[in-house]
Structure 1
Amino acid sequence: MHEPVTNPVYLIFYPVLAAVGIPVNVMAIAVLSRGKCGLSACISRYLVSMSTADLMVVLTSVVLSRIIGVYYPASFLSITPLCRLKTVLIYAAKDSSVWLTVAFTFDRFVAICCQNMRSKYCRKETAGAVVGIVFVLSCFRNIPWYFAFEPLYIADSTPWYCTFTSNYYTSKQWGAFSFLNHILTLFVPLILISIFNVLTVKNILVANRIRKALRSRKDGEAETDPETENRKKSIVLLLTISGTFALLWATTVVHYLYSRIANAYNYTGTDDPVYILQEAGYMLLLLSCCTNTFIYTIIQTKFRNEMKNLMKWPLVLIAQRLKQCE
């Protein structure tokens, strides 16, 4: 469990991250839900769910854990039962964000590489079912975190704050749970995303070469192929989303591996390289929850136009009201 920090860099970073992350994810949900971005209903459902999960990560990990933990350390959220519940929500939100990215990557893999499964799997109903399963499993899988903590102290019969139970570091059960949590949150998703991306890109490149050869003119010039252009856009969107996710989570993976190999579980202070690596990884991890909207804006022209229209809507509404009052 990451405890709030008081370094000036972090005190500035997390409020800025919340100020950016909340509106951009709300904007992405609003724009994508309208279904006017030229994306299939299946893709839109995944992207909406990913933005929702990212919004929950910002609200729980950034606002509830970091900002309130630093600026309001003695609030009612520090009472042990609420502190435990907050921890479960933090881990569940992160799990949902990670595995929805994997689900989206797999859906694009099936759509491009598995033509026999495409019509049955790549549907909005299937996407809705997958999203629901991911959210439910993420919540249930992280319920044990509620029982991993005990009160730091009790004042006037009220338990305050959370600290790991006395047997957390010695119990084999908790050790296995912690190890499994890191495997399912860090390594398995990154491996799956990498495998699906490699297979998808390979399939698209082979298909593009075949189509280009078949459609080439007799004089050697290739005709413009809308299908090839759509595949290129799919590659860019897929690789940008999953690639950015993998890069921003890489530092956390490095910290985890280093701390296990070097047995460096403690640090001497805020200047300790292990501490800096841990916090840098956590900052990048949370930053990944704000990048998708910017990716949509840069890559998807229709998303950009719809976002502009949505931002203009309040001004248009005000202008209409003013005209009615004249």
Structure 2
Amino acid sequence: MKRKKKEIIMSQEIVLGKSIAFKHNKSPGPDTLELRRFNDPRNGSRNIDALPAFCRLLKSLNGLESSYNWELSARSSTQYKAVSLGLHQLKSSNKEFVSCLKGQINSHSKMHRPIQHVERVFYTILALIGIPVNLLAIVILSRGKCGVSPCTTRYLVVMAAADLMVIITDVLLRRFRYYYYPQCFLDITPVCSVDWVLYCAARDCSVWFTVTFSFDRFVTICCQKLKTKYCTEKTATVVLATTCILLCLKNIPFYFQYQPVRLINNVPFFCDRKSEFYTEIWWAVLNWVDSILTPLLPFALILLFNVLTVRHILVTSRVRKRLKGETKGENRRDPEMESRRKSVILLFAISGSFILLWFIYVVDIVYFVIQEMNPDGYPPFLFHFRRVGFMLQRLSCCTNTFIYTATMPRFRLKFSNAIKYLDTRIARVMKK
């Protein structure tokens, strides 16, 4: 047998002030090529598309089998998103460098370990509460007679369904598979790719259904001529269906951003972003469009609709008081304003909850765009600030039901009756 020539691939890196070299006994693979590009001066000082390969090396040297803790610690960044390729793929002749890498990994893990524990508890509680609560909201609202119009009911039902899908696709199928059932069929590349697309579509629908609901309430309160044509159950169905279809089509390309990390019995496992995702222009354009559509533009539109609604209410209230000739000492009831109060309270509660819970996430995106700073380089405060933003964003998926309970008396009565019924049934089953 002819002896194969071992190709020595040198890739100098500066880690903790040390220049190191890697030796690979096989022909150059995609990770090796990415490591070359990582240190190529023609690509600039921070070649982002090579970082996944470099970080797979870090995790391989540390013997990590799952990368989810790294993904949680730096989500939407390129440094800790890949899954370990295995120590057998890379061999290092520099023991000092290996020890430095392990020390760096351990220090990073210790620094972010508290927030990871908090996230695990938070997302578990969110799933245990959010899924049954949204299911109850869908059932109660679908049966009607909750004190709101059929048009408003249609928006509330679809919003609850979108929130439920966000919790299922993100928490139950993505996060729980690393927390509680690792190494399952959900790690197959096509499955996790589809799950990511479904999560993005559900997230976008949840946000934009809130926008359409805010616009519907704006038309109801401020545009009396348009109200009779637009604020109908048929129009609501068309608007919601069109919005859902467009958002689903927008997220289909994200299925093709992933590639398998390894083959097990000829089955592709795990999802890793392709290097083209960080270099191709059309991927960059798609990411910008995605960031603008969710959540920057919805955030601005909801603020705009609420400001215009408040302005219209204040102006109308003053005009009606003048027409009725009220004085400062009089306090007459206005049936028209009383009838609008429920709609206004429900609108401001839902919109205000959305704005507050998405505020940190939006600030993080704006900061990233302005500073052009890789999230990997965030100091601990900004890193934890970012993680809290993600948790609050997910929390918005189970707050609407509690808002309905607080602002709608009939819904509150039905919700309490449903809870009592379920409690009684569970107690009977436990006794048996």
TM-score (normalizing by structure 1): 0.91
Distance 2:320 2:288 in 1: 47
What SS is found at the alignment partner of 1:221?
Answer: coil
Equivalent residue for 1:177?
A: 286
**TM-fit CA distance, 1:316:** 8.3
**TM-fit CA distance, 1:302:** 1.6
Distance 2:369 2:319 in 1: 47
Letter in 1 for 2:409: T
Q: Structure 1 segments of 4 or more deviating over 6 A?
A: 315-318
Gaps of 5+ in 1: 319-326
Distance 1:278 1:85 in 2: 26
Letter in 1 for 2:240: V
Match of 1:210 among 316, 319, 324: 319
Match runs of 1:1-40 below 5 Å: 3-4=71-72, 7-40=116-149
- Is 2:220 the counterpart of 1:111? yes
**TM-fit CA distance, 1:113:** 1.1
Match of 2:190 among 81, 99, 103: 81
Equivalent residue for 2:366?
A: 257
1:8-32 deviation digits (Å, cap 9, x = unpaired): 1111111100011011111111111
**Contact 1:252 1:285 survives alignment (8 Å):** yes
- Is 2:177 the counterpart of 1:71? no
Letter in 2 for 1:19: L
What SS is found at the alignment partner of 1:154?
Answer: strand
Equivalent residue for 1:275?
A: 383
- Is 2:332 the counterpart of 1:226? no
- Is 2:408 the counterpart of 1:295? no
Match of 2:392 among 275, 281, 284: 284
Equivalent residue for 1:308?
A: 416
What SS is found at the alignment partner of 1:290?
Answer: coil
1:140-166 deviation digits (Å, cap 9, x = unpaired): 110011001111222221111111111
What SS is found at the alignment partner of 2:276?
Answer: coil
90-99 or 24-33, which moves further after superposition?
Answer: 24-33
**Contact 1:36 1:302 survives alignment (8 Å):** yes
**Contact 1:215 1:222 survives alignment (8 Å):** no
**TM-fit CA distance, 1:246:** 1.2
Distance 1:161 1:22 in 2: 26
Equivalent residue for 1:322?
A: none
Letter in 2 for 1:63: L
1:241-287 deviation digits (Å, cap 9, x = unpaired): 01110111111111112223333324269x73343233211111000
Distance 2:399 2:328 in 1: 44
Aligned residues: 318
What SS is found at the alignment partner of 1:289?
Answer: coil
Distance 1:224 1:191 in 2: 35
Letter in 2 for 1:106: F
Distance 1:316 1:172 in 2: 58
200-209 or 40-49, which moves further after superposition?
Answer: 200-209
Distance 2:389 2:396 in 1: 11
| % same residue | 46
202-211 or 119-128, which moves further after superposition?
Answer: 202-211
1:129-148 deviation digits (Å, cap 9, x = unpaired): 11111221121110011001
**Contact 1:32 1:48 survives alignment (8 Å):** yes
**Contact 1:109 1:196 survives alignment (8 Å):** yes
273-282 or 130-139, which moves further after superposition?
Answer: 273-282
**Contact 1:216 1:223 survives alignment (8 Å):** no
Equivalent residue for 1:53?
A: 162
Equivalent residue for 2:200?
A: 91
Distance 2:396 2:199 in 1: 15
**Contact 1:36 1:306 survives alignment (8 Å):** no
Letter in 2 for 1:281: G
Letter in 1 for 2:122: F
**TM-fit CA distance, 1:117:** 0.8
Distance 2:423 2:119 in 1: 35
Distance 1:317 1:280 in 2: 37
34-43 or 271-280, which moves further after superposition?
Answer: 271-280
**Contact 1:33 1:48 survives alignment (8 Å):** yes
Match runs of 1:130-209 below 5 Å: 130-209=239-318
TM-score (normalizing by structure 2): 0.69
Letter in 1 for 2:335: P
Distance 1:85 1:26 in 2: 23
Equivalent residue for 1:323?
A: none
Distance 1:109 1:230 in 2: 15
Q: Which structure's residues are more often helix, by fraction?
A: 1
1:164-197 deviation digits (Å, cap 9, x = unpaired): 1111111111011001100000111011111111
**Contact 1:54 1:289 survives alignment (8 Å):** yes
